[in-house]
Amino acid sequence: MPAKPVACRARVRAVRVLAPAILEADLALLDPPTLDFEPGQWVSVPFGPKIVRAYSIASTPRTPTVITLCADVAPHGLGSRWFRGLAAGQEVEFKGPLGGFVLGLAETRRPLFVAEEIGIVPIRSILADLDQSGVERPATLVYQAREARDLVYDDEFRELARRRAGFAYHPGVTAEGVSLAALIDRLVPDVAGLVAYVAGGEATIARVREVLMAKGLERKAVKWEKFW
């Protein structure tokens, strides 16, 4: 069972620019000193009464004293301004963990991960945790961003594909004119024994789900996390 969300206080350890509009921040837990979460979950940052923003955790539970958040700050909204303003030494508050976009221990089906843009963040946590577990498990990642420079963690996934014979990685770029749904249609001829984890925009999630269901995958075998 996922851990119950708790109020947390942490100190910013470092902030990195992964792409022109994508930032990553390491938060060292102060209270509580560790955060128990499952790969794929997120935290909620408060900005006032009934105003919160959600940020997926990019790191794994294997470093529970520090969590890494990653966000697309291009929208320039309230959350984007907050994330852009993070600096080393600053204290922040949030609540977590939250969300059910997780690969359960009892899941035996072959996972297909589909990420659109910043939707890669929870999937990166899941894949990194699988890799660190040392268990060889077949999995496929199809990941599309606006431009090649926006494929954050691309080097990491390419290295993972080199080390893990059972892991297939298929990056794509929106500018090339091929949709994620079209990529899935071409790359996934057989859905037998498959479970899909799709993260990104609502429209893309719906189209990818339609493609997979048309191939015979049950609707409940498509897990999703909507970012916009």
Residue type (1 letter), 192: A
Give the pLDDT score at 31: 98
122 and 198 Cβ atoms separated by less than 8 Å:
no
Structure tokens at 122: 């929870």
Final residue belonging to a domain, choices 64, 98, 132: 98
Same domain, 164 and 205: yes
DSSP letter, residue 216: T
pLDDT at position 120 is: 98
C-alpha pair distances (Å), 42 with each of 57, 58, 98: 5, 9, 5
Predicted model pTM: 0.95
Measured CA to CA, the distance from residue 151 to residue 120 in angstroms comes to: 9
Q: Are residues 58 and 116 in the same domain?
A: no
Q: Report the CATH number that the domain containing residue 165 is assigned in CATH.
A: 3.40.50.80
Is residue 131 domain-shared with residue 163, that is, in the same domain? yes
Give the structural domain span for 13.
6-98
In a domain, 105, yes or no: no
DSSP run (H or E) holding 93: strand 91-98
Residues 82 and 169 in one domain: no
For residue 2, the model assigns a pLDDT of 63
- Say if 104 falls within a structural domain: no
Residues 69 and 118 in one domain: no
Taking the chain (228 residues) in runs of 10, the rounded mean pLDDT of each run is 86 98 98 97 93 97 97 93 97 97 92 98 97 90 96 98 95 90 95 97 98 98 97
Per-residue pLDDT at 117:
97
* pLDDT 10s digits, 22-50: 999 999 999 999 999 999 999 999 998 88
Q: Provide the residue type at 44 as one letter.
A: S
Q: Tens digits of per-residue pLDDT, 117-153?
A: 999 999 999 999 999 988 788 999 999 999 999 999 9
Q: Please give the single-letter amino acid code of residue 70.
A: C
Check whether residue 161 and residue 193 sit in a common domain.
Answer: yes
- pLDDT at residue number 1: 55
103 located within any domain? no
Rounded distance, CA 56 to CA 2, Å? 15
Q: Could you give the strand order of the β-sheet that contains 66-72, starting from the edge strand earlier in sequence? A: 51-56, 42-48, 91-98, 6-19, 22-31, 66-72
